[in-house]
Structure 1
Amino acid sequence: MPKLHHDEVDIDPEIVVALLAEQFPDLVVDDLVEAEPAGTDNVNYRLAAAGEELVVRLPRKPDAAPGIAKEVRFGRLLGSALPVAIPAPTRVGRPSATYPFGWSVGPWLPGSLPVEGTASGELAADLARFVRALRAVDAAPHVGDAMLTSYRVEPIAPRFADTDAFLPRCEGWIDVPAVRETWESIKHVEPYEGPPAFAHTDLQPGNLLVDEHGRLSAVIDFGGLAVGDPTVDLLPAWQLLDADTRPRFRAELAVDEPTWRRGMAWAITIGVVALGYYAGSGSPLVARSVYQLEQVLLELA
């Protein structure tokens, strides 16, 4: 498997089969297939065992490892409150001599990934309902929990330096001068003044599953779950939707202008850093980042 990070560990089917045999010998492997496309933080294998369809989830690198424990801890709390399926790990694997992190096994969630620019208004409404339901979960008892911290729910100002540093790496992929001008015009956003709320923080198309009708059926990868400013969960507006479907998403969430502009600023900084980091890697995040940056430019043109 091609590696995306300098600190990424080795993961291959032989390692996965050995982990299962060592720690969960009752799961007799009938079939094991790497799920495509591979995630940037985790690798998922679709496992057929004794008539069950399961997913084996393994972090690629050290800073992704805590996400497994987070999904285990909060999956049950959130699962009953959300309108679509989310990961629900049923087994937690231990580090071993061949693999250094905790890992998990849970039910396989069926569905396909939505394609940027092709989402319907109904999918836009589905996404808004998911965001509303997640924000409605009482976050007060979890404020200050170290497991639920993330730069993506904090003020955007600390992102200024990284955004400026990564912009030159985006040459050849986007109109860098236009993105720079737009970023300068929008980055000084009004701060969030609402109560701390749950945010998924990474609702990009690779973490969304849709059914055969194009409706949202599941949201995966809760490794970035955090409590704070939930504005970052507006990002599907530019990462997936287009000029025709964005208004439906915004209307369903009743987003005011300062919050919407803060969301666009997050779309720029996250898009620039992701594009600059993964450019040339073959990661799907390259095309997705180009799309979201182009959508922000289009909206603000």
Structure 2
Amino acid sequence: MHPDQLVLSQELAAQLITDLLPGTDPATVRLVPTSATTSTVVRIGEDLAARFPLEPSDPDAARTALAAEHEAMAEFASVCPLPAPEPVALGESSAEFPMPWSVQTWIPGEVADPVVLDSSDTAADDLAALLLALRAAPTRGRLFRGPGRGGELITHEDWVRECLERSRDLLPVGALAARWQRWRTLERRDGDVMSHRDLIPANLLTAEGRLAGVLDTGGYGPADPALDLVGAWHLLDAERRARLRERLGSSDLEWERGAAWAFVQAIGLVWYYVDTNPTMAELGRSTLRRLMDDPGIG
């Protein structure tokens, strides 16, 4: 998926994990096929998982970031109404693997499927309960700090323009650009709330037709209240989105800003992953279709 992607074999993963966690049976260590774009996921027995970065960066900075992610994970798990991973250990960079990596608890469930869940009232209600719980959590005076999504939409202007240019042979760029022209300047009136900050289907688990867990919680922090509304556009059809909006009590402005954040995320998925991660590319297409087909926004 990435030009400089790091390769991790199951044998190397077992070696690194048993060195960090003595007593682990190497036979219980196995790579997990996923559509994840930032990490190789490795199961450890039935209760733990490790995440190894897919791309190289400065190891010291990456370790500092992982430590902050573990702190955020623990805080998220303490307020989330659904099961969420908890931090266990950090693995150091080494000659065998050049980046630090992390171990956390494993949450069972199936990755959320937008095709399966889009008409589920239960999924919409579960998502509403999750967002309400996160919004009610204390920010403790913290404010959004970039980079990334969650501050002002206009700061993503260059990224969106690059994505539109790269998507000319893949998407209806003219219509998409017209929507962005409106969304890019939508004002923000509400203060930060606590936010997952990446509620794509790959980070939501399901069981028996309802949400059963939340993953990739290391980015938990304060952000625009509209940001976590991206989950509505990634997962739900128009009727279920309306159901979610009613339960959240979102204003017209907040709801449209949520659509704009979903656009900022989805516009980069198709061209970047079209040949390397079909699941993510199709998520981009389906989310953009929902955004374009909704007469109530734009």
TM over 0.5: yes
The offset of 1:228, in angstroms, is 2.6
**Stretch moving more, 149-158 or 5-14:** 5-14
Matched, 1:257 2:267: no
Kept in 2, the 8 Å contact 1:67–1:223? The answer is no
Residue type of the alignment partner of 1:112 = E
1:153 aligned counterpart, secondary structure: coil
Partner of 2:3: 6
1:34 aligned counterpart, secondary structure: strand
Kept in 2, the 8 Å contact 1:43–1:57? The answer is yes
Partner of 1:39: 36
The offset of 1:163, in angstroms, is 0.7
Matched, 1:189 2:186: yes
Matched, 1:59 2:57: no
The offset of 1:141, in angstroms, is 4.1
Partner of 1:167: 164
1:86 aligned counterpart, secondary structure: coil
Say what the alpha-carbon RMSD is for the aligned residues: 2.1
2:213 aligned counterpart, secondary structure: strand
Residue type of the alignment partner of 1:261 = E
The offset of 1:13, in angstroms, is 1.1
Distance (whole Å) between structure 1 residues aligned to residue 167 and residue 100 of structure 2: 34
Distance (whole Å) between structure 2 residues aligned to residue 67 and residue 250 of structure 1: 34
The offset of 1:19, in angstroms, is 0.5
1:5 aligned counterpart, secondary structure: coil
The offset of 1:7, in angstroms, is 3.6
1:128-277 equivalent positions in 2, closer than 5 A: 128-143=128-143, 149-191=146-188, 193-211=189-207, 213-277=208-272
Matched, 1:110 2:119: no
Distance (whole Å) between structure 1 residues aligned to residue 199 and residue 213 of structure 2: 11
- Pick from 77, 82, 85: which aligns with 1:79? 77
Distance (whole Å) between structure 2 residues aligned to residue 106 and residue 8 of structure 1: 22
Distance (whole Å) between structure 2 residues aligned to residue 61 and residue 222 of structure 1: 19
Partner of 1:99: 97
1:152 aligned counterpart, secondary structure: coil
The offset of 1:67, in angstroms, is 5.4
Kept in 2, the 8 Å contact 1:118–1:241? The answer is no
Partner of 1:124: 124
The offset of 1:113, in angstroms, is 1.4
1:143 aligned counterpart, secondary structure: coil
How many pairs were matched up? Answer: 290
Residue type of the alignment partner of 1:127 = L
| 1:32-78 CA-partner distances (Å, limit 9, x unpaired) | 33222241011111222xxx432111121246946532342122322
1:265 aligned counterpart, secondary structure: helix
Going from structure 1 to structure 2, the CA distance change for 1:269 and 1:76 (only over 3 Å counts) comes to: closer
Listed as ranges, the gaps of 5+ residues in structure 1 are none
Kept in 2, the 8 Å contact 1:208–1:219? The answer is yes
Overall identity of the aligned pairs, in %: 29
TM-score (norm 2): 0.89
Distance (whole Å) between structure 1 residues aligned to residue 218 and residue 272 of structure 2: 20
- Pick from 9, 15, 20: which aligns with 1:18? 15
Partner of 2:68: 70
Residue type of the alignment partner of 1:40 = T
Going from structure 1 to structure 2, the CA distance change for 1:139 and 1:269 (only over 3 Å counts) comes to: same
2:104 aligned counterpart, secondary structure: strand
Partner of 2:276: 281
The offset of 1:152, in angstroms, is 0.9
Listed as ranges, the gaps of 5+ residues in structure 2 are none
1:80 aligned counterpart, secondary structure: helix
Distance (whole Å) between structure 2 residues aligned to residue 39 and residue 167 of structure 1: 23
| 1:213-254 CA-partner distances (Å, limit 9, x unpaired) | 211111000233232313210001111111121111111111
Matched, 1:296 2:296: no
Residue type of the alignment partner of 2:190 = G
Kept in 1, the 8 Å contact 2:199–2:230? The answer is yes
